[in-house]
Chains A and B, each alone.
Chain A
Amino acid sequence: VNCEELRNGDLIERYVAGDLDAAARDRVEAHYFECDDCFEQVQLARALREEFPGPPRVRERPVLAYAALAAGLILVAACGAWIVMLRRENVELEQRLARAASPPPAAIERQAQEIAALRTRLDALSQPELNAPIVDLEPDDRVRRGGAPSPVVELAGGVRQITFVLTAGEVLGPGPYSVSIVDGAGRVVWESSGLRRSRFDTFTLAVPAALLPTGAIAIRLRSTADTRPGRVQEYDFRVVRR
């Protein structure tokens, strides 16, 4: 800088007041190290500040400055509220994620037991079953006609599956047939369709032992092509577990 820049640009006042950045301060100092007149002004400006410090003077604030200040405060408050809201949402989300990621210990224990039981059953079902029972059933009408009681199916503890061979009755229409298993209270335990008559005029149905409740049970067959009332073939029996 030269003398003119130093004096017209208010650099001396700002230097003495400590308002300059490092680069501008260096330029001012480098200049007054080689300029007596400018250094004299620096000295006098400093002496003037030291001699007339006076009380701290409050600068007048124009209306626009107050408006800008108010706008700034509102903006800061709005940002603060937004940040608080976001943080609250984050906390809730983290809590929900934590709950989802870590279910209660009781639920974990229950799930583990269920998985273990399923594995046991899957292992058992994957193995051949020796001496699996086969039960021949006659339609009720034929049994009833003979006056005989409902047959009894005894299930030992290790039995996993029972194969029923159902002799076709006279009331059935043409196939295919639907089939349902009904317990003693009349509730349908299981049902399906697609059952076909064999060339020996029988039906074959393999049923998991766990599906059959103890007590009176009926297997009902119906022609899906002939839905007239009374066209149902029923096979009654009793399940006894040993």
Chain B
Amino acid sequence: VRTFRDRVWAMLLSRVGNRDTARDLLQEVLVSAWRALAEGRLRDPEKLGAFVYGIARNVINNRRRTAAAGPVEVPLTPELELAVQPPDFEDRERRRLVREAMALLEPSDRRVLLLTLVDNLRPREIARRLGVSSDVARTRKTRALKRFVERVRELSRTAAADHKP
């Protein structure tokens, strides 16, 4: 359940505007997935991701159809209660890593990433801003993204090592 919590949360944030509603749905999806797994409804273990994703979609669609009914109250065990909480801490930690990783990047990489991921500009528009061709802009974006991910991973490893006793 915990393995897919972040994915379900990301999915809910994309589909549900209200964070409180997303919080309710996260619990509902993860509990449904846990029950389905406990009942042995997963035929192919390699397709666990698709299985959980299907459950998440069903729960969201059912909630839309019965929007007036409100959240479904489900009794939870303490472990499950902890597992179905939104990953707020992880989100905050990730944002810190992102901020530090951006500071470590070259200005040109930073600019490409901001144009791409924050301003949501298409490659053609980014190319116009940078004064290069679309292919060159796309290549720069790919490289900047790769360096950015590497920086985040390095920072994450460093933070994990610092927290070890």
Contact = CB atoms under 8 A, between A and B. Distances in A.
Interface stretch (A41-49, A99-107, A144-152): A41-49
Interface stretch (A13-21, A122-130, A182-190, A223-231): A13-21
B10 A42 contact: yes
Interface string A46-65: 11111111100101000000
Contact of B120 (A14, A41, A44): A14
Nearest to A34: B49
A75 interface: no
B7 interface: yes
Main secondary structure of the interface of A (DSSP, over half): helix
Contacts of A29: 11, 14, 53
A48 B98 contact: yes
A47 B94 CA distance: 7
A94 interface: no
B50 A41 contact: no
Given A41-B145, A42-B10, A33 B4 contact: yes
B29 to A, nearest CB: 12
Contacts of A8: 138, 142
Interface string B42-71: 000001011011000100000000000000
Interface residues of B, number: 38
Given A48-B102, A50-B95, A32 B120 contact: no
Interface string A19-34: 1000001100110111
B62 to A, nearest CB: 16
B113 interface: yes
B98 A18 contact: no
A7 interface: yes
Contacts of A13: 116-117, 120
Contact of A17 (B98, B120, B149): B120
A1 B52 CA distance: 18
B117 A45 contact: yes
Interface in A90-130: none
A30 to B, nearest CB: 6
A54 to B, nearest CB: 7
Residue from the set B57, B95, B148 with the largest chain A CB neighbour count within 10 Å = B95
Given A8-B142, A33-B49, A47-B95, 8 more contacts: A8-B138, A39-B6, A43-B10, A46-B13, A48-B98, A50-B95, A52-B118, A54-B114
